[in-house]
A and B are shown apart, each in its own frame.
Chain A
């Protein structure tokens, strides 16, 4: 299985901060990577797909980059609604696998 490793596990930030989350794959996955946002008790929400494609309805302050084994999700100016846990997921090779998540919390 392809292992997905996210860093950091927790990020303590303030509203207005620029935030960068990292996801690394144990082998190359091309650009077959998605990012999801999940708030406590809620359903995961797709934020980014194919590494850098913004899902419809997601604010443009979110951007994604990377290919191969290293990927980032950047939030240009963190808003109160962005505090959540973010998961990356590869869908290049079955079984699809998720990272362990990065929790973005209020500093």
Chain B
């Protein structure tokens, strides 16, 4: 069966510091991968998606970036965090053969 992992689970970082969040998927190959941000009391905002290694599409211009160095690894990064980057970050995958997306447990990021 497929599983999706995210780490860390929680993170507190000062403004201006770098960020690296990691997402990995097990039990499938060549998945579509997604990064979402969920702000408090709001829905999910799609940040990036990837259909393959090295292929990244950005949905929203911001100081975040994403990379996919391996087939089942998706990384969300920032060189300098802003207060507005605080939120709950969710990684999701999709098999590419269906429409439904499956979500990881999320990372709670607080920028202070």
Q: Do A and B bind each other?
A: no
